[in-house]
Amino acid sequence: MKILAVSTAEALCSVAFMEDGRLVCEESWLDRQTHSKRLMDMIRHLLENRAGVEAKDMDAFVAARGPGSFTGLRIGISVAKGLACAASGPAVGIASMDGLAYQFSAADLPIVTLMDARRSEVYACRYRFSRGELAEKGHPYALSPSDLLDMTDEETLFVGSGAVAYKEFLADRLKEKARFVPASHNHIKAAALAIPVFNDPGLLKQETDTLVPEYIRKPDAEVNFGDC
């Protein structure tokens, strides 16, 4: 099975081509440009120049469905759905924090994925893996950094942009219970978003038309409008 996965949930734009669970090639770009300026060129270069295949050869397309940047999520999902329509294949949405968590599936510690949600909040979800397989997954929340202290009473690996933003706070409050990865490992990579699909092909039965962003929290524009 051939899958093209895209991650546009945060500042890093990532594209990956996976075949039968194996990463063939992946490309990531981190800059201030909107993903709409770069994503299609990245996909074309990855498939045609590096993998020697075309989008129509894919069996499925995967995109981060949220949480994350409201604009970024819409761009990634729209591209995945458009390519899926042209290729007559499914477009599958995977939770952004699932992609983060699967990058550390070999860890023997509980994992708390954190995405910087701005407004002094993070998106957080708790995971536990056993022998590389997902054993437990909590419910995703938007909460304040101080509320994170109630999410763990044991040594925990914190990953994601929120872990970078609040590393000093967590390390100060949780001491030796807080574990972190190098800063470069805290981005959501496209290849990791495809792993749940290879593990559970039943996800391919999702209707492409029903794939929409899942924000967890209302967009800033809605919140600000409600305060008027």
Same domain, 6 and 92: yes
Please indicate, yes or no, if residue 129 is contained in any of the structural domains.
Answer: yes
Q: Domain with 46 in it: what CATH number?
A: 3.30.420.40
Q: Per the structure, how many domains does the chain have?
A: 2
Q: Residue 221 pLDDT > 60, yes or no?
A: no
Given this model, what pLDDT does residue 218 score? 67
Q: Which of 24-38, 71-85, 159-173, 185-199 has the lowest mean pLDDT?
A: 24-38
Strands (E), the chain: 2-7, 12-19, 22-30, 60-66, 91-95, 111-118, 121-130, 133-137, 141-143, 156-159, 178-180
Please indicate, yes or no, if residue 228 is contained in any of the structural domains.
Answer: no
Given this model, what pLDDT does residue 32 score? 78
Q: What is the mean pLDDT of residues 70-90?
A: 96
pTM (predicted TM-score)? 0.92
Per-residue pLDDT tens over the stretch 1-38: 999 999 999 999 999 999 999 999 999 999 878 899 99
* Residue 39: domain span: 2-96+189-217
Q: Residue 224 pLDDT > 90, yes or no?
A: no
Please indicate, yes or no, if residue 10 is contained in any of the structural domains.
Answer: yes
Compute the mean pLDDT over every residue in the chain, rounded to the nearest whole number: 93
Q: Which of 77-86, 120-129, 196-205, 218-227 has the lowest mean pLDDT?
A: 218-227
Same domain, 80 and 34: yes
Please indicate, yes or no, if residue 227 is contained in any of the structural domains.
Answer: no
Question: Residue 162 burial (CB < 10 Å; 0-12/13-18/19+)?
Answer: buried
- Phi first, then psi, for residue 13 (nearest 5°) are -100, 120
Given this model, what pLDDT does residue 152 score? 83
